Chains A and B, each alone.
Chain A
């Protein structure tokens, strides 16, 4: 079973700051790694998908990196805004396409 860990569990930053969220996983035999955002009381929204052969993927102010050999991924958020406040989750499906999640990082961006 894939074990996924996300650090930190919670993060509070002032608006405009750049920040990094961390995700580690135990099974490196993955197809890809996906980052999600979850707002309170809502479902998960896909943010970025990094293929196992890629090292980085960018979308707007978001940049995700993947190091399969060390079992790590990071999500970099540039120039944070209050609207970025949410819980961020990562998941790495194994070769059986089973998705396992960590407990996420709860981000608060203070205006």
Chain B
């Protein structure tokens, strides 16, 4: 199995509080991604990174920011959590080009 871990696995937080989710990889892969998965919407890309300090927006980036200061870590931050951000969040890694993508086990976030 690819070395990719997400933390925390579960979190309950209150509306308006900041939340940071962490994705850690041991594969030295260049690309890292954050997705959210909701019923009826499937997996939607939030942000992705193509190298240290190199990030770009996906299709549902509003309300989210990311940072990648090291190859192995990709952080997703909800600056002020809202109930609409209740979801399951997945991190993925990719070596590039014609390589397989691997996913973490997910973080279930509930905003109350």
Contact = CB atoms under 8 A, between A and B. Distances in A.
Interface string A27-38: 000011010100
A103 B40 contact: yes
A102 B43 CA distance: 7
A89 B43 contact: yes
Contacts of A31: 97-98
Interface residues of A, number: 24
Interface residues of B, number: 27
- Chain B interface helix/strand/loop/mixed: strand
Nearest to B2: A46
Contacts of A42: 105-106
A51 B98 CA distance: 6
Interface stretch (B62-70, B73-81, B88-96): B88-96
Contact of B42 (A34, A46, A51, A102): A102
Closest 5 CB pairs of A and B: A103-B42, A44-B103, A101-B43, A43-B103, A43-B105
Given A89-B43, A97-B97, 5 more contacts: A1-B59, A31-B98, A46-B102, A98-B48, A101-B43
